[in-house]
A and B are shown apart, each in its own frame.
Chain A
Amino acid sequence: EVQLVESGGGLVQPGGSLTLSCVASGFTFSNSWMHWVRRAPGKGLVWVSRIRGDGRSINYADSVKGRFTISRDNAKNTVYLQMNSLRDEDTAVYYCGRDIHIAAADSWGPGTLVTVSS
């Protein structure tokens, strides 16, 4: 059974940093693209970033480019999202997902809440 579990969320001040983790199990992690998406309160789902199985191809949404860094450790079956220069508008529940085909992720974690506030 595929399982994804996010962690690392919390309360951070504007301008601060936070690193999210997503631990995967139940599939060959190194073969899968992985995505991060988020949903802010009262808003819709928004795609954040994705990383290829070997870590050598990465894409970011314009809203986070230059501030967020996605990475992975295939030995630990873990994908990360390092978030710097956080803004109020980054407040959201962040979800990681396993890609089965472009823009199609069939398994998702329960999410981790990031709150950016002073």
Chain B
Amino acid sequence: QSVLTQPPSVSAAPGQKVTISCSGSSSNIANNYVSWYQHLPGTAPKLLIYDDNKRPSGIPVRFSGSKSGTSATLGITGLQTGDEADYYCATWDTSLTVVVFGGGTKLTVL
């Protein structure tokens, strides 16, 4: 059971927009920065968003992050088939003194 809760799966058509939610608590999301990762098994994880809403160099503007209270959201616009992957939120948990990941959300581009 993950400390951060994500929907197991989301889907949308190519060109559409999708959002992935990440729900936590006051000991993690509400008071610490959130990151988002894209991962395909057998490959290196890719950082998409850090510090709630910043994109590392090379990440397209189609990817965006936001946060409100104890929840964070990853948005992806202009969906492409290459976006099919698993997506994870992550943050620091001040009470547990560990990094926590969400359980992951599988994105299917129909």
Contact = CB atoms under 8 A, between A and B. Distances in A.
A104 B39 contact: no
B63 interface: no
Interface in A76-118: 93, 95, 97, 100-106, 108-111
A101 B54 CA distance: 11
Given A59-B97, A100-B50, A104-B35, A47 B42 contact: no
Interface residues of B, number: 31
Interface centre among B32, B37, B46, B97 (most CB of A within 10 A): B37
Grouping DSSP codes into helix (H, G, I), strand (E, B) and loop, the B interface class, with mixed when no group exceeds half, is: strand
Contact of A45 (B37, B47, B91, B92): B37
Given A95-B45, A102-B92, A39 B35 contact: no
A50 interface: yes
Contacts of B100: 47, 103
